[in-house]
Structure 1
Amino acid sequence: MNAGSSAYQTKSAVLFIIFNRPGVTGQVFDKIKEARPPRLYIAADGARSNHDGETALCRETREVVGKIDWLCDVKTLFRTDNLGCKEAVSSAVTWFFQQEEEGIILEDDCLPANSFFEFCDELLELYRYDTRIRHITGCNLQQGKKWGAASYYFSNITHIWGWAGWRRVWKDYDKNLSRYSESEVKHQLENVFGHTMVVEAWVEIFKWVKAGEIDTWDYQYGFLNYFNNSLCIIPNQNLISNIGFGVSSTNTHNATDPNAAIPLEEMGSLTHPLYFLPEKQADFCTIDRDFNIAKRVERYNRPNRKLKRWFKSVFK
Structure 2
Amino acid sequence: MKTGIAVFAYNRSRHLQQVLDGLQKNRNVDKLYLFQDGLKCEAHRREWEKVRDVIKNIAWCEVQSSFAKENRGLADSIVEGINHVLAENDAVIVLEDDCVPAPDFIDFMEQCFEKYQNNKRIYSVSGYSYPFHIRGSSESDVYFCGRISSWGWGTWKDRWKKYEQDYGMLQRMKKDKEKSLCLALWGRDLEEMLVDRIRGNNDSWAVFWALKVIEEGGLCINPFESLIQNIGLDGSGVHCGKSDCFDVRLCPKKQEEFLLPDNTEITPETEKAFVPFYGSYTALTYRQKKDRRSALIYGVGSLFSVNEKRVNDDYDIVAFVDRNKKGYYAGKKILLPDEIENYEFDKLVIMIRDEKESIRIAEEMVHRYSIPKENIEFGIGKYH
TM-score of Structure 1 vs Structure 2, range by shorter chain: 0.7 to 0.9
Per the alignment, residue 228 of structure 2 pairs with: 240
Residue correspondence of structure 1 range 1-316 to structure 2 within 5 A:
12-35=3-26, 37-49=29-41, 51-52=42-43, 54-72=44-62, 74-149=63-138, 150-174=140-164, 176-177=165-166, 180=168, 182-188=170-176, 190-191=178-179, 193=181, 201-209=189-197, 214-255=202-243, 257-260=244-247, 262-265=248-251, 266-268=253-255, 269-290=257-278, 296-298=305-307, 301=311, 304=351, 311-312=373-374
CA contact (8 A) 1:237 1:267 kept: no
Backbone CA RMSD of aligned residues:
3.3
Alignment partners' CA distance in 2, 1:39 and 1:147: 33
What TM-score results when the alignment is normalised by the length of structure 2?
0.68
Shift of 1:290: 4.9
CA contact (8 A) 1:177 1:210 kept: no
Report the CA distance shift for 1:258/1:229 in structure 2 as closer, same or farther (over 3 A).
same
Shift of 1:128: 2.0
Alignment partners' CA distance in 2, 1:197 and 1:13: 32
Identical columns (%): 21
- Structure 1, unmatched stretches of 5+, are 1-10
Q: Which amino acid aligns with 1:251?
A: H
More displaced, 206-215 or 115-124? Answer: 206-215
Alignment partners' CA distance in 2, 1:126 and 1:202: 30
Alignment partners' CA distance in 2, 1:219 and 1:31: 27
What TM-score results when the alignment is normalised by the length of structure 1?
0.81
User: Which structure features the higher share of strand residues?
Assistant: 2
1:210-261: CA deviations, max 9, x gaps? 6665311111111111122111111111110000112211333123x2213x
- Structure 2, unmatched stretches of 5+, are 283-303, 312-348, 363-371, 378-384
Alignment partners' CA distance in 2, 1:123 and 1:159: 15
Report the CA distance shift for 1:168/1:274 in structure 2 as closer, same or farther (over 3 A).
closer
**SS at 1:13's partner residue?**
strand
Alignment partners' CA distance in 1, 2:122 and 2:199: 29
Shift of 1:133: 1.6
Shift of 1:119: 0.4
Per the alignment, residue 368 of structure 2 pairs with: none
Alignment partners' CA distance in 1, 2:162 and 2:171: 21
Per the alignment, residue 6 of structure 1 pairs with: none
Q: Which amino acid aligns with 2:307?
A: E
Per the alignment, residue 285 of structure 2 pairs with: none
Alignment partners' CA distance in 1, 2:186 and 2:158: 29
Shift of 1:75: 1.2
**SS at 1:223's partner residue?**
helix
Per the alignment, residue 8 of structure 1 pairs with: none
Considering only CA atoms, is the larger Rg found in Structure 1 or Structure 2? 2
1:151-193: CA deviations, max 9, x gaps? 001111100100121111112211x215x35542213474363
Alignment partners' CA distance in 2, 1:121 and 1:196: 31
CA contact (8 A) 2:123 2:218 kept: yes
Alignment partners' CA distance in 1, 2:373 and 2:120: 53
Per the alignment, residue 3 of structure 1 pairs with: none
CA contact (8 A) 2:105 2:127 kept: yes
CA contact (8 A) 2:169 2:212 kept: no
CA contact (8 A) 1:16 1:40 kept: yes
Q: Which amino acid aligns with 2:374?
A: K
Corresponding pairs, count: 298
CA contact (8 A) 1:238 1:263 kept: yes
Alignment partners' CA distance in 2, 1:271 and 1:99: 29
Alignment partners' CA distance in 2, 1:211 and 1:314: 38
Q: Which has the higher contact order (CA 8 A, sep 6+)?
A: 1
1:85-127: CA deviations, max 9, x gaps? 1111211111111221113111100001011111011111122
CA contact (8 A) 2:104 2:227 kept: yes
**SS at 1:136's partner residue?**
strand
Shift of 1:286: 2.9
